[in-house]
Amino acid sequence: MTMQQEMSLVTAAPPVDQIFPEVDMSAGDSSSVVRATVVQASTVFYDTPATLDKAERLLAEAADNGSQLVVFPEAFIGGYPRGSSFELAIGARTAKGRDDFRKYHASAIHVPGPEVERLAEMAKKYKVFLVMGVIEREGYTLYCTVLFFDSQGQFLGKHRKLMPTALERCIWGFGDGSTIPVFDTPIGKIGAAICWENRMPSLRTAMYAKGIEIYCAPTADSRETWLASMTHIALEGGCFVLSANQFCHRKDYPPSPEYMFSGSEESLTPDSVVCAGGSSIISPLGIVLAGPNYEGEALITADLDLGDIARAKFDFDVVGHYSRPEVFSLNIREHPRKAVSFSTTSKVMKDESVNK
């Protein structure tokens, strides 16, 4: 069962008479059904409280439609700075570019922090598993991050984008192997990769090895070619792929000259589409269950038959019967990579005495 729901008082989706209960996976029932929604909507740029309010409205609507899992786009909280150059050039910065970063940094959130607590409260209130794209700040470094919450309001953990793309590398830090989680939940094993890091075979293989079943792919790529990547991952991993992207008009960003779309500002009108969405849900058999949607903000929903995972892996289990470990191997370094480490005096003295 699939549906695409326009976010308005009158919806195009058929009515739903019951809200699906949480799935009990403990009995090993691989034929359970989970209703999942990917949100296609824009950030309220430079306004994190308003974006959180919008997220709650969307979450409530998805929950009313029976969804048990809701996935938001990349950088939904904090914003994806599409088109902005931060006035960067090799060997040069500008005062405006520095102030653009100051405002962007102010829109980011601490993890943990009050915004994370509010998201946890939302997940608990609407009894959904929540996967949320955020811009995280740690000190004065920003990270493109995905947060995970269970339906009881528990913050499960996070994934930081390992490899920002192009100019993103000038404004976001790099994640490490300590935040590549796959969470074993009552509705399946859930993890995420963000935008073009989905193209990294080693990252995908690590997630497959952790048993991922519901592969979330928040993105900023609205090109039609993105669907091919999502379909390939579903087939390769034998997993459901849920890709959520923003749908944005120029007017969803601050007006010029406060915010400039580098190289295209003069050709844009307030109603120009600057990100066309393309959100979708793919089955482990490579079937497009919902989407892609290029028409506007929407809730894109499908019922996931978890039995399809076993049906797909009968053909191809990339880290199981179709692997060749005597030929290929992969080593994942999962410990955090810190620039500075501190040791207490007592620990240093203890270590020195052991080494004598």
What 3-state class would DSSP assign to 189?
strand
What 3-state class would DSSP assign to 44?
coil
181: Cα separation from own chain's centroid: 12
Which of 339, 344, 342, 343 shows the shortest CA–CA distance to 138?
Answer: 339
Amino acid 131 reads V
Number of other CB atoms surrounding residue 208 within 10 Å: 22
Amino acid 103 reads K
Interatomic CA distance for residues 132 and 130, integer angstroms: 6
Phi, psi values for residue 33, rounded to 5°: -120, 135
Half-sphere CA count of 348, side-chain side, radius 13 A = 5
Active site residues: 74, 161, 195
According to DSSP, residue 193 is labeled: -
Phi, psi values for residue 22, rounded to 5°: -60, 140
What 3-state class would DSSP assign to 294?
coil
Cβ atoms 76, 55 nearer than 8 A: yes
